[in-house]
Amino acid sequence: MARDYYEILGVDRGADEAQIKKAFRRLARELHPDVNAHDPQAEEKFKEAAAAYEVLSDGERRRMYDTYGEEGLRGRGYAPDMDAFGSVSDLFSAFFGTGGFDAAFGGGRRGRYAGAVQGADVVVAAAIDLADSARGAQVEISYEAATLCPHCNGNGAEPGTPIVDCPRCDGTGQHQRVARTAFGQLVRTSICDRCEGEGRVPETPCSECDGAGMVGEHKRVAVDIPPGIADGQRIRLTRRGHAGQRGGPPGDLYVVVRVREDERFLRDGEDLVTVIDVPAPLAALGTTVQVPTFDGEVPLEIPAGTQPGETIVMRGRGLPPLSRGRTGDLRVVVNVAIPRRLTREQRSLLQDFAATVTEDNLRSDEGMLAKLKRVLAG
Ligand SMILES: [Zn+2]
Ligand SMILES: [Zn+2]
């Protein structure tokens, strides 16, 4: 059983046009999906309110409804069906324009129909070296952002000239279009594109900003990049974006950090991986090699008998954690390098050595499966 349209809008039967409109705007503001995502019923309630408004805002339909009820409307070929709009935001746009919730209900009080709107965000990229990601860095960012025009102070009028009622919408801030749909006539209200809902426009547009009230400004800002940041992560600087409209706050600045590759290291989360070549005889004998780190080269002992692909972990030589946790490790993969070219003398020495090699020299505690896994993992 459908609810009474007056009851849905919360107005009494004698309510005038302005009261009905006000009640619908209030409901729409409460039930808008951007505001009310947590109420699963909000969408249905909004559709219901829209249907009620469709009928009660039209004198002819309202009389029919008052006399014959919903049945009577249907009998005359009118039955509001708000599901025809598909999404609730399409439906919302049909009544309040495509500017979205902020354009229709923004918090400011300056405009008649449109309120303060927050400025748009600015996104810029900053490239740093992997070493900077280890230590943290400060980079200077430059970007263009819309800012209030200093010539007209943001109101769009040439100084000393008046701001007048918008000639396009006669100062109402909106256009109404009547669309004929399968469900009857539908009044679509949209925000005036000349005055953007304010109802007022400058008579003589500002010579600096052409009436926009905004000009582009080149900005520079130093950004602290925290240690441990990974490629693609974003840093948000609040209120450093484009200026807001009609007294709204500026948008934010997002710095997307690109971390350049470092030829010496692969990054694996907080860990770094590097590969060190060790000549086969030295891998057999054991040796000390120099390993690159962000603090310069440090010595690493390679134990005698180190096998190809074996990994030696240097604790705490990786990257610092971005927030909590411990500093990563540097994993050194030992590439046992087999000499590709030999002198006559080396060949002869190696032949003599090879003649002495026995099963015992190669024995390990590692089973075949474990050996395969190690080789495949490398
Ligand atoms: Zn200006
Ligand atoms: Zn206008």
Q: How many CB atoms lie within 10 A of CB 216?
A: 11
d(CA 292, CA 270): 16
Ligand closest to the CA atom of residue 195: 2
pLDDT of amino acid 109: 31
Ligand closest to the CA atom of residue 151: 1
Ligand closest to the CA atom of residue 158: 1
Distance 49 CA to ligand 2 centre (A): 27
- Rg (the chain; Cα; Å): 36
pLDDT of amino acid 177: 78
For the entire predicted model, the pTM comes to 0.58
Burial (CB count <10 Å: 0-12, 13-18, 19+), residue 145: buried
Q: How many CA atoms lie within 13 A of 198 on its CB side?
A: 19
pLDDT of amino acid 36: 63
d(CA 225, CA 132): 8
Ligand closest to the CA atom of residue 207: 1
Distance 305 CA to ligand 1 centre (A): 77
The label of the residue with tokens 């440090």 reads: 298
Distance 198 CA to ligand 2 centre (A): 7
Distance 159 CA to ligand 1 centre (A): 9
Distance 176 CA to ligand 2 centre (A): 12
Distance 140 CA to ligand 1 centre (A): 29
Ligand closest to the CA atom of residue 111: 2
| Strand ranges, E, within the chain | 122-128, 137-148, 163-165, 174-181, 184-191, 200-202, 214-225, 234-237, 253-259, 266-268, 271-279, 287-293, 296-302, 311-314, 330-337
Ligand closest to the CA atom of residue 174: 2
Ligand closest to the CA atom of residue 193: 2
Residues of the chain where predicted confidence (pLDDT) is lower than 70: 1-2, 33-38, 77, 79, 81, 83-90, 93-115, 378
